[in-house]
Amino acid sequence: MNKKIAIIGGGIFGVSIYILLKQKGIDCCLFEKKKSLLKGATTNNLNRVHFGYHYPRDNLTAKQSYEGYKSFKNFYKDAIFQNFKNYYFIAKKSKVNFKNYVEFCKKNKLKYKIVKSVNLPFLIKNIQGGLEVNEPIYDWDILRNKVQSLIKRFKKNRVHLNENVLDIKKDKNYTIITNKDSYFFDIIIDASYDGSNSIIRKIKKPKKRKYQLVVVYEFELKKVKKMGLALMDGNFFSFLPKGKQNRYLLYHVKYSIIKEKVTSKFPSNWYKYKNFETLIKRSKKLIKKDLRYYLPSLKINLTSKKHISPRVILENVEKTDRRVSKIEEISKNYFQIFSAKVDHSIDIADRIYKKINKN
């Protein structure tokens, strides 16, 4: 293929597309605004490799998650870690009941073992029931090292770090304007996530999205074997081991959101917001209250270590909680990636390869 291809965004979706295309012998160029790859939402979130347990109100997300896991595992298997107890509990105030949740798991062929609270190594209250599952996680650091190792194998790499794409213009081809230079390309693959709508404004009117700024907390858990726990389904919380480290990552569906707005592009001024610490202090207080209510015997002390990153959600998905990844060709040879889950990344990369081969 003689066409010039640009990939925008050095998160797991952009990087996976770059690696897969290079492996197929297709020359391409990757732009990342940060100083290194995988420094955004990929490694600032709860590091779950989804099988589908998390989405009992949407079978499509569950299906895409498990299918995505299989290709993700083949590509990045060194980064996947599964040697720990992992639990899903349905709260009494959940949007689904426990009986229907078990039926959902059966329908989607998700393996589980029903657990009784009396047999658990910790006390849990105010739940309908729980399952033990074998859903894994990925280790941030190992994933980053694996990506760097794969990229180094290519003889000619065109990875532009610390180069922010500011604008894109369309004529016979596409002109990318960055903070450093201008470039010409035939094909654009936009995997810039929260930045995507900001750079397409001269190509197509951007759709409104729900933008969030979220915080993932770290904590240590002593006197309990390594475990993961998700309390569902609604405004509850999850925590998982931080890869192979003796630390945990915690995300609360309601109280981890420190800023939120439905708009046509990500509000970049959020990063300049002066009252972050006030919002985070309130967030911690409310999360601790929930933890005491449901897990009174676990001493979970959120540390000062936290990870703040953007989150982008399609509008009007509250009823089903749909979180699918998809590709939209917004203009001829301009592909915009809407990325939902890390483990969808290889499937999306493969679909992009097939699409550009057709053009």
pLDDT bracket for residue 56 (50, 70, 90)? very high
Token representation of residue 233: 């389904």
Task: Return the CATH number at 90.
Answer: 3.50.50.60
CB 165 within 8 A of CB 176: yes
Whether 100 contacts 56, CB under 8 Å:
yes
Residue 42 has pLDDT above 80, yes or no: no
Residue 321 pLDDT exceeds 80:
yes
What does the alpha-carbon distance between residue 289 and residue 300 come to, in Å, rounded to a whole number? Answer: 11
Best mean pLDDT range from 10-24, 54-68, 318-332: 10-24
User: Residue 116 pLDDT > 80, yes or no?
Assistant: yes
Q: Model confidence over 124-159: pLDDT tens digits?
A: 999 999 999 999 999 999 999 999 999 999 989 999
For residue 262, the surrounding DSSP H or E stretch is strand 257-263
Q: Taking 90 as the threshold, does the pLDDT of residue 13 lie above it?
A: yes
Residue 247 in this model has a pLDDT that exceeds 80: yes
CA pseudo-torsion sign 66, 220, 312, 36: negative
Q: Which whole number is the average pLDDT over 79-98? A: 95
State the Cα–Cα distance between residues 220 and 218, nearest whole angstrom. 7
**pLDDT for 222:** 84
pLDDT band at 75 (very low <50, low <70, confident <90, very high): very high
Q: Report pTM.
A: 0.94
DSSP character for 64? H
The answer on pLDDT for 1 being more than 80 is no
**Reduced to 3 states, what is the DSSP secondary structure of residue 241?**
strand
| Alpha carbon distance 121, 291 (integer Å) | 16
Cβ atoms < 10 Å from Cβ of 107? 11
Residues whose CB falls within 8 Å of the CB of residue 25, separated by 6 or more in sequence, listed in order: none
CA distances 205 to 158, 308, 337, Å, are: 30, 28, 16
pLDDT score of 273: 76
- What burial class does residue 161 get, using C-beta atoms within 10 Å of its C-beta: 0-12 exposed, 13-18 middle, 19+ buried? middle
Taking a C-beta distance cutoff of 8 angstroms, is the pair 87, 124 a contact? no
Tokens of residue 308, six digits: 């703040």
Tokens of 200: 């397409």
Kind of pairing between the strands at 301-313 and 227-232: unpaired
Token readout for 229 is: 């726990």
Query: What average pLDDT does this structure show over 248-260?
Result: 95
Owner of token pair 């689904």: 96
Confidence class for position 291, pLDDT limits 50, 70, 90: very high
More confident residue, 64 or 44: 64
Q: Specify the pLDDT at position 359.
A: 67
- 29 lies in which domain range? 5-358
Q: Can you say whether the dihedral through the CA atoms of 257, 46, 224, 115 is positive or negative? A: positive
Q: How many domains does the chain have?
A: 1
Q: Name the burial class of residue 83, with classes exposed (0-12), middle (13-18) and buried (19+) by CB atoms within 10 angstroms of its CB.
A: exposed
| DSSP states along 97-151 | -HHHHHHHHHHTT---EEE-GGGSSS---SEEEEEEE---EE-HHHHHHHHHHHH
